[in-house]
């Protein structure tokens, strides 16, 4: 039986009452371990089917795959274009298309700004942590980033998010035993930690610690390969379509996460631009954070016995179960639900009729908005 931090079920508004006294703290976790999880909850991360990459330069197909569509009836069969599994975009580099997913925990509070590498990630997931703050998981596969960070510590929900990616490589800096226990137990990931092997990372001493650990995707892929030479190709989490849905036009959304944290997205006619806590979200070199798709999942959470230095309790965000979901693409909003009955299976994103919701080919941000908050569209 797995031993992970005790949870206290809650759907109350995250804020000072639930997560401690102040968001200004260094995130050094203590723990009470082991204790058992009470599985009361809901979930995310989006599941669909895996596209076979057998046509892609002899690359090994991922574990979950589908047969390519039949050729259009004609004297000459129509070629099927292989796509990157995490973006749905046509493959330009077969070696990258055959790689495992590389997921990296990224700091997301004021002392960590500006961040690096997020616009090279195929998928970025925004997750509630202690103090009512948020942290990101940036997942790379189709592109590389010459600078990624600041890299921070793991949380129990990472296990459930990583399992949908067939584990892959997971890079982080710091974690309590309670914070990493579930990741080790069921993520199936190759773990690359700054604390265990710092040669794959470095500190930028122009920034304050602990918000100054950085690396590159090339280094972390090398580290993951050394830790585990054989890793599966990243699976396809979403279904993609170039056909814009018939849906209400909505060009913006506001997403409160707590009394301390919020995000927002605005459609500019080509992409969605991100705002955090009321200010434009800008990366190093003054690059605005952007994406093709915004997937919003309404999730429950519960308290754990994992504490930070200010004695704020870390929430365990539930991505197993079901809940409301919204997809923003092409300046429109598609409402639906996410469903994931077990951490062993990928999540499905479906509309009111039960049909799979298709994303636009491109990069995706997943916003795990904690209940009882809900999005406000404009």
**pLDDT tens track for 247-291:** 999 999 999 999 999 999 999 999 999 999 999 999 999 999 999
Identify the CATH homologous superfamily for domain 239-377: YerB-like (3.50.90.10)
pLDDT score of 264? 98
pLDDT tens, position by position, 201-227: 999 999 999 999 999 999 999 999 999
CA distance 329 to 269: 10
Q: Looking at the predicted structure, is the pLDDT value of residue 30 above 50?
A: no
Residue 190 structure tokens = 């190759």
- 15-19, 241-245, 285-289, 368-372: least confidently modelled range: 15-19
CA distance 339 to 47: 9
What's the chain's Rg over C-alpha atoms?
A: 20
Residues sharing a CB contact under 8 Å with residue 336, sequence separation 6 or more, in sequence order = 324, 325, 326, 327, 349, 350, 351, 352, 357
Question: Which pTM does this prediction carry?
Answer: 0.81
Mean pLDDT of 154-159: 94
Q: Looking at the predicted structure, is the pLDDT value of residue 38 above 70?
A: no
Element (H, E) at 334: strand 332-340
Higher pLDDT, 304 or 214: 214
pLDDT score of 8? 44
Residue 156 structure tokens = 């129990």
Mean pLDDT of 42-49: 33
Decide: 3 and 159 in contact? Cβ < 8 Å: no
Task: Please report which confidence band the pLDDT of residue 314 belongs to, taking 50, 70 and 90 as the band edges.
Answer: confident
Instruction: Give the DSSP letter of residue 25.
Output: S
Sign of dihedral through CA atoms 196, 197, 201, 206? Answer: positive
Q: Looking at the predicted structure, is the pLDDT value of residue 304 above 80?
A: yes
CA distance 284 to 118: 10
């Amino acid at each position: 039986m797995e031993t992970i931090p005790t949870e206290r079920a809650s759907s109350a508004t995250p804020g000072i009452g639930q997560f401690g006294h102040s968001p200004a703290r260094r995130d050094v976790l203590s723990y009470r371990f082991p204790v058992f999880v009470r599985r009361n909850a809901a979930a995310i991360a989006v599941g669909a089917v895996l596209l076979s990459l057998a046509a892609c330069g002899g690359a090994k197909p991922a574990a979950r795959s589908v047969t390519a569509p039949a050729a259009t009836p004609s004297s000459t069969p129509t070629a099927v274009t292989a796509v990157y599994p995490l973006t749905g975009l046509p493959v330009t580099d077969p070696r990258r298309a055959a790689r495992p997913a590389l997921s990296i925990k990224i700091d997301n509070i004021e002392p960590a700004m500006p961040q690096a590498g997020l616009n090279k990630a195929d998928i970025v997931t925004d997750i509630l942590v202690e103090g009512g703050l948020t942290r990101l998981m940036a997942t790379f596969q189709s592109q590389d980033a010459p600078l990624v960070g600041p890299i921070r510590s793991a949380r129990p929900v990472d296990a459930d998010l990583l399992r949908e990616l067939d584990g892959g490589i997971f890079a982080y800096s710091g974690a309590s035993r309670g914070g990493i226990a579930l990741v080790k137990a069921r993520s199936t990931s190759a773990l690359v930690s700054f604390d265990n092997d710092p040669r794959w990372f470095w500190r930028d001493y122009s920034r304050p610690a602990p918000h100054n650990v950085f690396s590159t995707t090339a280094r972390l892929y090398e580290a993951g390969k050394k830790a585990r030479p054989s890793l599966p190709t990243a699976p396809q989490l979403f279904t993609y379509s170039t056909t814009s849905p018939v849906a209400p036009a909505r060009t913006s959304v506001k997403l409160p996460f707590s009394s301390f944290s919020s995000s927002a997205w605005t459609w500019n006619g080509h992409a969605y631009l991100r705002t955090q806590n009321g200010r434009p979200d800008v990366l190093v070199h003054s690059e605005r954070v952007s994406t093709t798709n915004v997937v919003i999942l309404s999730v429950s959470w519960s308290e754990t016995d994992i504490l930070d230095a200010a004695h704020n309790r870390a929430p365990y965000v539930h991505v197993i179960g079901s809940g409301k979901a919204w997809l923003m693409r092409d300046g429109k909003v598609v409402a639906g639900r996410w469903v994931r009955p077990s951490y062993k299976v990928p999540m499905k994103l479906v509309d009111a009729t039960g049909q799979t919701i298709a994303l636009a080919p491109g990069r995706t941000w997943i916003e795990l908005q904690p209940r009882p908050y809900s999005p406000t569209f404009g």
